Amino acid sequence: MHDSPQPDTDSDTDDEALMPGLGLDMPPVPAPAPAPATGQAYRVLARKYRPQTFAELIGQDAMVQTLGNAIRRERLAHAFLMTGVRGVGKTSTARLIAKALNCIGPDGQGGPTIAPCGVCEPCVAIAEGRHIDIIEMDAASHTGIDDVREITEAVRYAAVSARYKMYIIDEAHMLSKQAWNGLLKTLEEPPPHVKFLFATTEVNKVPITVLSRCQRFDLKRIPSELLASHFTEICVKEAVVAEPDALAMIADAAEGSVRDGLSILDQAIAHADLGGHSDDAGAAMVRAEQVRSMLGLSDRGSMRRLFAHLIAGDADAMLADLDAQHGLGVDPVAVMRGLLAMVHAITLQKSAGRVRTVHGEEDRAALADWAGKLGHASLHRLWQLLLKGHDEIEQAPVPREACEMALLRALYAATLPDPGTLARRMVEAPQADAPTAPSPEPSQPQAEAPPAPDGAPPWDMADYGEPVARPEPQPIRTPGEIRTIGDIVDLLDNAGRLLLAGQVRTDMRPVEIGSDTLTYQSATGRDDYVPLLREALAEITGRRWQVERGADDALPSLAEQEKHSQDAMRDEILNHPLVKATQSAFPDAEIDWTAAEISPHEDDNLPTRSAKA
C-alpha cells in the first residue's frame, strides 16, 4: 500500500503563491495598505505652545520688565535663579534669556535684546535645543560632584559660536551638597563669557550661599482668568470650539500652572465630540458637562442647589442632592471644596463686591442674592463648620458618611443663635412676671432644637443680616435705690463693665451720693476713668450723671472697707481662746490665711481656717 502524495510545503510553493499569473489555484496574499501620510508626529499642546518670545510669556510682566531694563542698560547678572510652582515658565524663561543674550538679528549685526528675532542661527538653534554653547543639564539625574566638575572645567573655554556660553540647570534643588560646594567659587566669579541659569520648584532647598550669588526671579501663579483667556486663544488656533464654562473649569483645575492647564485641555479635546457645533462641522466641541465628568467635578448648578438646601435647613433635599452627586461619581471631598468655594465667593461679594469673572451669569446672580441675605457672622461660622468637615472627610474611613454628617451638623447648627444674638434676646426678654415652664418628666424625650421662628430659614436670613440697632437703654435702678458706692459697683457689674467696676471699687472714696450726682475722693490719685464712668452711668440709668472730686471728708473705698473687715476678722480669730490655746500647744504652727474663706462656724461661731504646722 502506497501513501498518497503530500503537497510540497517548501518555500518554492510560497514563492509561487506570491506571484500572480502562474496558473496556481492559491489566491495571492494582498499587500498591506500603505499608512496614510500624517506629516510630523503630534505634539502635545504644552510643548507646541511653549513661549518663544517674552511677549508670549503670560503672567510674568514684572520679571520681563526687569530683564528688559537690565539688557538695555547692560546690567546683566552672571547667574539667574527662576523659582515658582510647576508649569509657570521657569525653564522657558531660561531659554528665552539664552536667546535674548545671544540673538544677532536677521542681519547678523544685532546685540542682546528683550525681543529676540527668532530667525537668526542662534535663535533657531536654541529653540531646537541643538546649540553647542547652550548646555542644559537635568540636576535630577546629574546630582553629584563629578557632574559639576565637568562644568567647572569647561567654563574656562570660550564659546564656540554664541556670544555667551550658558548653563541651564533644571531642578537645581536636586543637586547634592558637595555639588553645590564645588560650584560656589565658579558661580561667584565666572568668566565674562559664561552665564548660569537655575530653575527650581523648591527654592528652600537651595543653599543660601547660592541664593546670594544669583539674581532671583519668583514666577507667580497664573490667575484663572488669564489662563481661561489663554486657552481660548489656543482653541481658536486649534480649530476647537469650547464652552466658556468648560475653559473656566480647566483653568480652575490647573491651579495657576499653564502646563497643567494645557495638559487638561489636550485631554478635553480628545474627549470632546466631533461636529458638535452647527457652524463648525467636524470640529471638536469641548462641553462643560464632559469636562466636569472628566475631572470628577461637581456641577455648579448642583452645588448651588445643595447650598440652597443647606442654608434653608431642608435636610431631606440636601441628602437627596448629595446622593445624586455620589451617583455621578463626585468625590465627597470635591463636594465639600465646592461648598467652601461657594461660601468664600459669597463672603467676597458681600465684603468687597468682588466676584470672579470665570463664574457664569447664574453664579453671579445667586452669589449677589445670598450676599444680600446672609450676614458676616453666619458666613464665617458656616466656613468653619465646612472646613472642619473637610478635614474629617479626608481622614474618615467612609468619606461619604463623614460628608453627610458634616453637612447635617452645619444644617442643624444654623438653628442656634450666635452669642451676640443670644445675649441680646436675654436682655430684651421680660424679667418680671414671666411664667416659668414646668420641667419635663424624666421619661419625656427632649426636643433636639427649636424650630426657626415664624418659619424663617435657619441660616440667619434675618437674625444675622445687617447689624441690629442697640435698644434704648432702660433704667435699671430708680434714684432711690442708688444710695452707696456698692450700689454703683453692682450696677456696673450687672452691665458687664467689670474693669470699670474694679477701678471704682479700688479707688473711689465716696463723699456724697445723690440721685444723679457723685462726689468722691481718690484713694490712689489715678482717677482718669471718671469720664468713662459718667458715660457708663448715663447709658445704664438713662440720666446724665455729675461725677466730681470733692474736698470734704470721705468714707473709705470698698477695697479699703473689705481690707478693714478682713483685718478685724483676723484679729478676732487670733484672739479667740481656742486659737490661743492651740498656739500655746503648738508654738511652731502657722495659720494659712489663703487656704479657705472666712466663714462662721455653725456650732460655736468660730470662723473656720485651715492651719498648717
For 315-329, b where at least 16 C-beta lie within 10 A, e where not — what string?
eeebbebbeebbeee
Torsion, Cα of 486, 491, 492, 493 (10° steps): 80
Give how far Cα 366 sits from Cα of 307, 373, 385, 396, 456, Å. 11, 11, 21, 32, 19
SS (H, E, C) 586-610: CCCCEECCCCCCCCCCCCCCCCCCC
DSSP 214: S
Helix (H, G, I), strand (E, B) or coil at 94: helix
Q: What is the pLDDT of residue 430?
A: 53
Q: Which segments of the chain have a pLDDT < 50?
A: 1-38, 276-281, 357-358, 432-456, 461-471, 473-480, 595-613
**Can you name the CATH fold of 224-295?**
Helicase, Ruva Protein; domain 3 (1.10.8)
Give how far Cα 587 sits from Cα of 575, 581, 606, Å. 15, 10, 20
Return d(Cα 83, Cα 89) in angstroms, integer: 9
Q: Identify which of 229, 219, 236, 277 has the alpha carbon closest to the alpha carbon of residue 250.
A: 229
Task: List, for residues 83-119, the tens digit of each pLDDT value.
Answer: 988 888 899 999 999 999 999 888 888 888 888 988 8
Altogether, the residues listed in the chain come to a count of 613
C-alpha cell at 387: 472646613
Q: What is the pLDDT of residue 30?
A: 44
C-alpha cell at 610: 485651715
From the CA atom positions of the chain, what is the Rg in Å? 42
Domain with CATH 3.40.50.300 in the chain: 45-218
Beta strands in 97-251 (DSSP E): 134-138, 165-170, 194-200, 215-218, 240-242
Strand partners, 173: none
Q: Identify which of 330, 337, 328 has the alpha carbon closest to the alpha carbon of residue 307.
A: 337
Give how far Cα 528 sits from Cα of 10, 497, 511, 524, 532, Å. 121, 16, 18, 11, 8
Identity at 71, one-letter amino acid code: I
Task: List, for residues 196-232, the tens digit of each pLDDT value.
Answer: 999 999 999 999 999 998 999 999 888 888 999 999 9
Q: What is the pLDDT of residue 437?
A: 44
Q: What is the pLDDT of residue 440?
A: 45
Q: What is the pLDDT of residue 197?
A: 92
Q: Identify which of 483, 512, 497, 489 has the alpha carbon closest to the alpha carbon of residue 562.
A: 489
Return d(Cα 61, Cα 47) in angstroms, integer: 22
On whether the pTM is more than 0.85, the answer is no
Supply the CATH classification number for the domain 45-218: 3.40.50.300
Residue given cell 458638535 in the structure block = 276
Q: What is the pLDDT of residue 40?
A: 64
Q: What is the pLDDT of residue 2?
A: 44
Domain with CATH 1.20.272.10 in the chain: 300-421
Task: List, for residues 3-52, the tens digit of each pLDDT value.
Answer: 444 444 444 434 443 334 434 344 444 444 444 444 567 888 888 888 88
**Can you name the CATH fold of 479-559?**
GMP Synthetase; Chain A, domain 3 (3.30.300)
Identity at 600, one-letter amino acid code: P
- Triad 271, 274, 279: Cα angle to 5°: 130
Q: What is the pLDDT of residue 313?
A: 84
Rounded to a whole number of angstroms, the distance between the first and last alpha carbons of the chain is 133
Domain with CATH 1.10.8.60 in the chain: 224-295
- The CATH architecture assigned to 300-421 reads Up-down Bundle (1.20)
Determine how many CB atoms are found less than 10 A away from the CB of residue 482: 22
Strand partners, 547: 518
